[in-house]
């Protein structure tokens, strides 16, 4: 039997492939991105980067209703974007299995919140599976397809960053091709007109009842016998931590957390002296256990914020003080944009201007930090333009408002904001930072790159064409490396009280070919620090002059163009 080392994301991709999945859709988002990247490498599967998570979920639903097993993957906040479709999908159900992977991010490693998406199971009435390691990630993915078909419902596979990115041994199986009928018309199932939707709601409640019984008997919800003095209910990676801290306790290990296995939990609790619930972020299992009359101890001692680890679990339950400081003191390192990042050329233009700057989600959010100080807010995907519009309507001409959004985020959720801004006469400046990739998640393609996830050539959509199609009269496309010319343009534009769109286009510095590094001629440098305003991490100031770290410098020339003393030159080979 072949074995390999897989991350949770890789294991889910493998599980989906082994289950005979035909269609996969996702919008990249850490920690879920590698699921589709890996699934796309397997034969016999169509995969795509969808423009956003709602689109991805609907693509998967369409495929599942047409008789093909389908999977969609997203980070936790992506499920908020997809929630409209999620709730309807529970009513409609499937024809072939459909799995929705939600990758939650306790600890906010790369997210704006720590929401616990197990609750989506409860409110959308959809079963939720939570694997505890890579092997389970693969097996639960396959099981999720079976549950989906047996109960005519999509299934959420909920993982967290630790499961997504940690590697573990996984046993490989062969792919089982899955064949079902193709599309059949049944408007009472797939058309949620109110008269049909009510019928589907009755059906959903009946399916949920059967799922609850199933949850009480399914093998992934199991009692692991141990000492009767302590029983622990746990799921996901928290189960691993609890096992490490309390190796001799009895466990109720839950793989299917919703519907909650009430009878099994009561049976487990009845002969235990004490019941702990060990889970990350919110008290999901604890609430459901307490609803069954189980006097469980959980979040009164465990933290609601941040990831758990064995140390925190031990400290919490053994009544020791929780030390939330890192065990090893590391020197702080402020996050910074990359050397030669085109966004820094744009942020330079906004410095020291009396502006309200509404930002968005992407690597450019690092423009919040000095010396750029170029972002007042960052709310969620696409909120830059819409928030700026609200500010503009509230403050009118009292203050100039600028919104900043990346290219991938613009296609994801910025377009409706642009349409709204044009329609409702917004007087903001919208800046689209077009680095021709999805930078923050590791350079995935999007509708502007001209390539699909399957590696095919396709059309390349341009944000400026959207702006013109929306009737925006002033649309500029600039090269952010041309810092001097852009400075002149900006001083003109900022005087105007109208909707203006600027597309700042230059490929991500990590993808562009590296040019010879630059150096500072010390005898010419006056120490004016103009070059430092680019905020390039390759540039430093030492004693009374600027210094360039030639190992970091990518030769973008931005600092050279800004130096008034011609003290920066290219190092010629």
Residue 508 CB, shortest distance to ligand SF4, in Å, is: 13
Q: Where are the beta strands (DSSP E) in 449-565?
A: 474-478, 500-505, 518-520, 539-542, 545-548
Residue 547 CB, shortest distance to ligand SF4, in Å, is: 9
Q: What is the DSSP letter of 364?
A: G
Contact by Cβ (8 Å): 264, 221: yes
Among 559, 561, 569, 572, binds ligand SF4 (CB under 6 A): 559
Q: Is residue 557 part of the contact set for ligand SF4 (CB under 6 A)?
A: yes
Contact by Cβ (8 Å): 360, 408: no
Q: Is residue 483 part of the contact set for ligand SF4 (CB under 6 A)?
A: no
Give residue for tokens 């599980």: 15
Residue 539 CB, shortest distance to ligand SF4, in Å, is: 5
Residue 480 CB, shortest distance to ligand SF4, in Å, is: 11
Residue 370 CB, shortest distance to ligand SF4, in Å, is: 16
Q: Is residue 563 part of the contact set for ligand SF4 (CB under 6 A)?
A: yes
Q: What are the helix (H) ranges across 454-528? A: 463-469, 483-493
Residue 101 CB, shortest distance to ligand SF4, in Å, is: 38
Contact by Cβ (8 Å): 418, 430: yes
Among 554, 569, 571, 572, binds ligand SF4 (CB under 6 A): 554
Residue 338 CB, shortest distance to ligand SF4, in Å, is: 9
Specify the residue, 503 or 548, whose C-beta has the smaller distance to ligand SF4.
548
Q: Is residue 565 part of the contact set for ligand SF4 (CB under 6 A)?
A: yes
In whole angstroms, what is the distance from residue 262 CA to residue 75 CA? 29
In whole angstroms, what is the distance from residue 337 CA to residue 347 CA? 11
In whole angstroms, what is the distance from residue 524 CA to residue 458 CA? 50
Piece of the chain touching ligand SF4 by CB under 6 A; list 183-191, 303-311, 405-413, 539-547: 539-547
Among 171, 395, 529, 571, binds ligand SF4 (CB under 6 A): 529
Q: Is residue 242 part of the contact set for ligand SF4 (CB under 6 A)?
A: no
> In whole angstroms, what separates CA 479 from the centre of its chain?
29
Q: Which of residues 161-190 bind ligand SF4 (CB under 6 A)?
A: none
Among 80, 567, 569, 573, binds ligand SF4 (CB under 6 A): 567
Tell me, residue by residue from 310 to 349, as one string, x for binding to ligand SF4 by CB under 6 A and - for no binding.
-----------------------------xx---------
Q: Is residue 539 part of the contact set for ligand SF4 (CB under 6 A)?
A: yes
Specify the residue, 387 or 539, whose C-beta has the smaller distance to ligand SF4.
539
Q: Which residues pair with 464 in a beta bridge?
A: none
Q: Counting beta carbons within 10 angstroms of the beta carbon of residue 33, is it exposed (0 to 12), middle (13 to 18) or buried (19 or more)?
A: buried
Q: Angle of helix 194-217 relative to helix 134-151, nearest 10 degrees?
A: 130
Q: Is residue 88 part of the contact set for ligand SF4 (CB under 6 A)?
A: no
In whole angstroms, what is the distance from residue 162 CA to residue 104 CA? 9
> What Rg value do the Cα atoms of the chain yield, rounded?
27
Judged by DSSP in three states, 100 sits in: strand
Short-list 480, 388, 485, 379, CA closest to 430: 388
Piece of the chain touching ligand SF4 by CB under 6 A; list 192-200, 210-218, 224-232, 536-544: 536-544
Tokens of 176: 């089982």
Residue 523 CB, shortest distance to ligand SF4, in Å, is: 11
Q: What is the DSSP letter of 448?
A: T
Residue 519: HSE in the Cβ half-sphere, 13 Å Cα cutoff? 9
Specify the residue, 87 or 541, whose C-beta has the smaller distance to ligand SF4.
541
In whole angstroms, what is the distance from residue 528 CA to residue 513 CA? 30
Residues found in the chain: 573
Piece of the chain touching ligand SF4 by CB under 6 A; list 203-211, 322-330, 455-463, 528-536: 528-536
Tell me, residue by residue from 196 to 235, as one string, x for binding to ligand SF4 by CB under 6 A and - for no binding.
----------------------------------------
Q: Which of residues 351-410 bind ligand SF4 (CB under 6 A)?
A: none
Residue 74 CB, shortest distance to ligand SF4, in Å, is: 34
Tell me how many residues contact ligand SF4 (CB under 6 A): 29
Contact by Cβ (8 Å): 316, 322: yes
Specify the residue, 157 or 556, whose C-beta has the smaller distance to ligand SF4.
556
Residue 452 CB, shortest distance to ligand SF4, in Å, is: 32
Q: Is residue 26 part of the contact set for ligand SF4 (CB under 6 A)?
A: no
Specify the residue, 464 or 557, whose C-beta has the smaller distance to ligand SF4.
557
Among 44, 370, 390, 527, binds ligand SF4 (CB under 6 A): 527
Residue 524 CB, shortest distance to ligand SF4, in Å, is: 7
Q: What is the DSSP letter of 245?
A: H
Short-list 262, 193, 192, 272, CA closest to 225: 272
Give residue for tokens 């309507």: 393
Q: How far is the CA of 181 from the CAs of 72, 162, 417, in angstroms?
A: 21, 38, 40
Preceding omega of 371 cis (within 30 degrees of 0): yes
Q: Angle of helix 236-245 relative to helix 310-317, nearest 10 degrees?
A: 60
Q: Where are the beta strands (DSSP E) in 121-173?
A: 128-129, 155-160, 167-171
Q: What are the helix (H) ranges across 381-482? A: 383-395, 407-409, 415-423, 463-469
Residue 158 CB, shortest distance to ligand SF4, in Å, is: 41
Residue 535 CB, shortest distance to ligand SF4, in Å, is: 9
Q: What is the DSSP letter of 63?
A: H
Tokens of 334: 């402020």
Q: Which of residues 496-525 bind ligand SF4 (CB under 6 A)?
A: 518, 520, 525
Residue 517 CB, shortest distance to ligand SF4, in Å, is: 6
Residue 328 CB, shortest distance to ligand SF4, in Å, is: 31
Q: Is residue 60 part of the contact set for ligand SF4 (CB under 6 A)?
A: no
Piece of the chain touching ligand SF4 by CB under 6 A; list 94-102, 283-291, 403-411, 534-542: 534-542
Q: Is residue 528 part of the contact set for ligand SF4 (CB under 6 A)?
A: yes
In whole angstroms, what is the distance from residue 474 CA to residue 153 CA? 48
What residue ranges bind ligand SF4 (CB under 6 A)?
339-340, 518, 520, 525-531, 534, 536, 538-539, 545-546, 548, 553-559, 563, 565, 567-568
């Amino acid at each position: 039997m072949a074995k390999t080392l897989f991350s949770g994301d890789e294991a889910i991709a493998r599980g989906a492939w082994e289950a005979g999945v035909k269609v996969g859709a996702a919008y990249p988002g850490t920690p879920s991105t590698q699921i589709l990247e890996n699934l796309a490498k397997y034969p016999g599967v169509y995969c795509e980067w969808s423009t956003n998570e709602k689109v991805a979920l609907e693509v998967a639903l369409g495929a599942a209703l047409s008789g093909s097993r389908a999977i969609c993957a997203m980070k936790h906040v992506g499920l908020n974007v997809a929630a409209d479709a999620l709730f309807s999908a529970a009513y409609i159900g499937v024809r072939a299995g459909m799995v929705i992977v939600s990758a939650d991010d306790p600890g906010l490693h790369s997210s704006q919140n720590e929401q616990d998406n197990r609750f989506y199971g409860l409110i959308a009435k959809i079963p939720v599976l939570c694997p505890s390691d890579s092997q389970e990630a693969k097996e639960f993915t396959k099981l999720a397809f079976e549950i989906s078909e047996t109960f005519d419902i999509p299934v959420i596979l909920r993982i967290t960053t630790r499961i997504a990115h940690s590697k573990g041994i996984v046993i490989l199986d062969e792919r089982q091709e899955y064949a079902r009928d193709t599309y059949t018309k049944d408007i009472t199932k797939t058309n949620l007109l109110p008269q049909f939707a009510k019928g589907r709601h009755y059906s959903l409640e009946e399916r949920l009842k059967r799922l609850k019984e199933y949850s009480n008997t399914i093998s992934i919800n199991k009692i692991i016998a141990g000492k009767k003095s302590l029983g622990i209910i746990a799921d996901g990676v928290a189960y691993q931590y609890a096992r490490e801290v309390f190796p001799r306790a009895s466990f109720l290990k839950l793989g299917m957390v919703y519907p909650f296995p009430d009878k099994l939990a009561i049976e487990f609790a009845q002969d235990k002296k004490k019941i702990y619930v060990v889970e990350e972020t919110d008290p999901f299992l604890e609430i459901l256990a307490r609803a069954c009359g189980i006097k469980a101890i959980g979040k009164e001692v465990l933290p609601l914020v941040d990831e758990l680890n064995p140390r925190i679990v031990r400290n919490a339950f053994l009544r020791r003080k929780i030390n939330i400081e890192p065990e090893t003191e590391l020197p702080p390192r402020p996050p910074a944009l990359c050397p030669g990042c085109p966004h820094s050329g744009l942020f330079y233009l906004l410095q020291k201007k009396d502006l309200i700057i509404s930002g968005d989600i992407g690597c450019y959010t690092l423009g919040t930090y000095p010396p750029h100080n170029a972002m007042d807010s960052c709310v969620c995907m696409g909120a830059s333009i819409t928030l700026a519009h609200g500010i503009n309507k509230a403050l009118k001409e009292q203050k100039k408002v600028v919104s900043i959004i990346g290219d991938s985020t613009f296609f994801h959720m910025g377009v409706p904001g642009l349409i709204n801004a044009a329609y409702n006469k917004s007087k903001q400046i919208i800046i689209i930072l077009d680095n021709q990739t999805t930078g923050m998640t590791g350079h995935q393609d999007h509708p502007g790159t001209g390539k699909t996830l399957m590696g095919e050539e396709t059309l390349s959509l341009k944000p400026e064409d959207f702006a013109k199609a929306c009737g925006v009269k002033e649309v500029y496309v600039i090269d952010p490396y041309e810092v001097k010319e852009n400075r002149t343009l900006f001083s003109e534009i900022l005087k105007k009280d109208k909707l203006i769109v600027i597309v700042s286009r230059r490929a991500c510095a990590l993808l562009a070919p590296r040019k010879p590094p630059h150096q500072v001629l010390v005898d010419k440098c006056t120490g004016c620090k103009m070059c430092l305003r680019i905020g390039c991490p390759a540039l430093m100031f030492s004693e009374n002059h600027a210094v360039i770290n030639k190992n970091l410098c990518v030769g973008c020339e931005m600092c050279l163009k800004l130096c008034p003393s011609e003290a920066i030159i290219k190092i010629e080979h």
